[in-house]
Amino acid sequence: MKVAIVGASGYAGGELCRLLQYHSQAEVTCVTSRKLAGTPLEDVHPQLKGFYKPLLNFSNPEVDDIDADVAFLAVPHTAAMAYAGKLLSRGIKVVDLSADYRLRKEIFEKVYGVLHTDYFEAPYGIPELHRRDCINAKFVSNPGCFPTGATLAAAPLAKYANNIIFDSKTGVSGAGDNPSATTHYPNVGDNVGPYKWTSHRHLAEMKQEIAFLGSKANVYFTPHLVPVNRGILTTAHILLNEPMEQKEVEKLYQEFYKNEYFVRYQKPILAAVRGSNFCDVMVESEGTRVVACSAIDNLVKGASGQAIQNMNLMCGFKENDGLTGAGLFP
């Protein structure tokens, strides 16, 4: 199966190239970049040196010239809508890593401040919650990294809650590969800083998914930047309508995720999921407040790994094909 990665020069594109090397059915045949056309892939992603033979170079084809069975859109938010419909019209299956199709049209336009020029409804690709919609789909919208970790932390208890407060600590790679004052080492090292305290764009996805789970809970979210490259550790304060004991809560989580390969009930440690597609979750109850913590790699389960998981569902492959690697602890 031929795979194209549109916008392959960033961290998510590099992770797609890395992980797809371990896939039994997929071959990356096209990696695009407007600025890097003609540049060898390994010059931008040195971790891939020797893995692509013959050597794969970046190209900048027109949308109608992309030759693939599946295309991943690893382009910035608001840019994917220019590609999605055209690729679909040519029979190419698409997994979109941007935010362009995660939300209803009116909510997207309000949150991102732009008009959507090619809107259609698409499955929201957290497979643990929306697997039926993703199986055999022609297009899947890959979720944001924060909503993935947060939603999986709270999902089993969401319908019992009246308020859910998400507090996430994220690694610097979540900001992308373009340097900025925010990601400048002296501003990040030996420091922890909240940002977009009440207004992060991913809050809309969290509210959407908590409502999907049958909950009327109020949802709040504050992210913090921490001095690590990869990973998101989310603490969810789940305030319940009625108290639950520890054993009851643990049973809910273990039952909810008992058939999920990529969700493990164990103490969340960032290093234990680094480089992997796993989400580790654990809970502790004090009655009407349950603290649920999750850990994911923001570039894998939070982006490229989950995108491949969705591709596998879309194409009828084994769901964990290419994604069975363990985390890089310590």
Query: How far apart are alpha carbons 217 and 164 in whole angstroms?
Result: 6
For residue 277 the two structure tokens come to 């597609």
Q: For residue 220, count other CB atoms closer than 10 A to its CB.
A: 16
Structure letter (DSSP) for residue 302: I
Q: For 118, list phi and psi in degrees, rounded to 5.
A: -155, 60
- CA–CA distances in Å: residue 142 to residues 85, 115, 262: 16, 20, 16
Q: For residue 27, count other CB atoms closer than 10 A to its CB.
A: 13
Q: Which amino acid belongs to residue 92?
A: I
Radius of gyration of the chain (CA): 19
Query: How far apart are alpha carbons 226 and 138 in whole angstroms?
Result: 37
List strands edge to edge, sheet with 263-265: 193-194, 218-225, 161-170, 232-244, 287-296, 279-285, 263-265
In three-state secondary structure terms, 236 is strand
For residue 158 the two structure tokens come to 């969401």
Options 30, 134, 145, 293, the catalytic residue? 145
Q: For 138, list phi and psi in degrees, rounded to 5.
A: -90, -20
List strands edge to edge, sheet with 58-59: 58-59, 27-32, 2-6, 70-73, 93-96, 139-141
Per the annotation, the verdict on 279 as an active-site residue is: no
Supply the residues annotated as catalytic: 145
